[in-house]
A = this chain, B = another copy of it.
């Protein structure tokens, strides 16, 4: 079969690889119906040292179960399922608390001998815990929005939840990428009435407004922070959803947040240290967030997607076949595409 591998910065290849098979009794093999490229895939695409051996990549997919190991009972061949960005047993103490990304038996796609999602099929470990059955057919028009439950919408939701967004909180979202727009949508869904979106890409911020942003701040850096604060009487917003991950982002986030407020970040930090000194302390700011335990949110969010209450799949603005995946990476890295859907 064909699958996507990364060999280094800018070097994405689609190659023939062995078709997956059940290895462990808790495995399932899933034929991928839809996959996509994540903003976090762009970090290795931008900087990964070149290697002779490529690594499988991709951690967002939905597909049809083809085969299951003898210990799999909750999904069956023929089921359409969505996979969260990390596999997990869904039974340990961390999973029961909703922190599936810390499951001791779990892990991430495309690492440690586990397949990546950007291919024709995937061996899914811990299938009973990981995969969630979708009550639609593989021809459903809802597939793009359902696919966002793998990562991008759950990540925006995680950002809003950990920030404590509700109807009483004002919100600033930093970043008009797919995660930032999903954070807007999630904040609105949780009741926020004032949502300031910081982003300068007009098509993206236009979608942000449709998702619920009440204000858009195109200015960057200190100027953008000043503008965002102006919108809230100089105080800043109760919560800031930081959906970028680069080093200036925490400074901007702390600049835009109100005293006593919370910055939640879901952009993978591209830095080791950050500004958590006396200023953050004096203002009683909280820093939270992290990699989204998507598995824990899927059942909660699924009904709103099925009912069309939310349409997070609108973040996909380009669809490619598997052989066009390298160009999909290029287009996303060049900000020509917001988020690329893959129909293998």
Residues on A facing B (Cβ under 8 Å): 94, 97, 99, 101-102, 162, 250, 259-260, 265, 268-269, 271-278, 280-291, 293
Task: Specify which chain B residues have a CB less than 8 angstroms from the CB of A269 in the assembled complex.
Answer: 276-278, 280-281
Q: How distant is the Cα of A286 from the Cα of B99 in the complex, in angstroms? A: 13
Other-chain residue from B273, B278, B281, B284 in contact with A293 (beta carbon distance below 8 A): B284
Distance from A237 Cβ to chain B, minimum over Cβ atoms (Å) = 14
Q: How distant is the Cα of A275 from the Cα of B284 in the complex, in angstroms? A: 18
Name the 4 nearest CB pairs between A and B, nearest first: A284-B290, A102-B259, A272-B277, A286-B288
Contact A275 B272 (CB under 8 A): yes
Q: How distant is the Cα of A97 from the Cα of B238 in the complex, in angstroms? A: 12
Copy total for this chain? 2
Between-chain CB contacts (< 8 Å), 12 pairs: A102-B283, A162-B286, A250-B276, A265-B281, A268-B281, A271-B276, A273-B275, A283-B290, A284-B288, A286-B286, A287-B287, A287-B288
Given contacts A162-B284, A273-B274, 15 further A-B contacts (CB under 8 A): A94-B260, A99-B260, A101-B282, A101-B284, A269-B277, A269-B280, A271-B276, A272-B277, A282-B290, A284-B288, A285-B290, A286-B286, A286-B288, A287-B287, A287-B288
Task: Specify which chain B residues have a CB less than 8 angstroms from the CB of A280 in the assembled complex.
Answer: 269, 290
* Residue among A97, A162, A250, A260 having the largest count of chain B Cβ atoms under 10 Å: A260
Q: How distant is the Cα of A203 from the Cα of B260 in the complex, in angstroms? A: 35
Q: How distant is the Cα of A276 from the Cα of B284 in the complex, in angstroms? A: 17
Known: A94-B259, A259-B94. A287 touches B290 (CB 8 A): no
Q: How distant is the Cα of A288 from the Cα of B288 in the complex, in angstroms? A: 8
Distance from A315 Cβ to chain B, minimum over Cβ atoms (Å) = 22
Q: How distant is the Cα of A250 from the Cα of B275 in the complex, in angstroms? A: 13
With CB as the reference atom, state the residue of chain B lying closest to A288. Answer: B286
Task: Specify which chain B residues have a CB less than 8 angstroms from the CB of A272 in the assembled complex.
Answer: 275, 277-278
Task: Specify which chain B residues have a CB less than 8 angstroms from the CB of A276 in the assembled complex.
Answer: 250, 269, 271, 273-274, 276, 287
Q: How distant is the Cα of A257 from the Cα of B135 in the complex, in angstroms? A: 39
Q: How distant is the Cα of A99 from the Cα of B285 in the complex, in angstroms? A: 11
Task: Specify which chain B residues have a CB less than 8 angstroms from the CB of A265 in the assembled complex.
Answer: 281
Contact B259 A99 (CB under 8 A): yes
With CB as the reference atom, state the residue of chain B lying closest to A279. Answer: B272
Q: How distant is the Cα of A260 from the Cα of B162 in the complex, in angstroms? A: 10
Distance from A258 Cβ to chain B, minimum over Cβ atoms (Å) = 9
Known: A99-B259, A99-B260. A289 touches B284 (CB 8 A): yes
Task: Specify which chain B residues have a CB less than 8 angstroms from the CB of A288 in the assembled complex.
Answer: 284, 286-288
Task: Specify which chain B residues have a CB less than 8 angstroms from the CB of A162 in the assembled complex.
Answer: 284, 286
With CB as the reference atom, state the residue of chain B lying closest to A265. Answer: B281
With CB as the reference atom, state the residue of chain B lying closest to A286. Answer: B288
Contact B281 A289 (CB under 8 A): yes
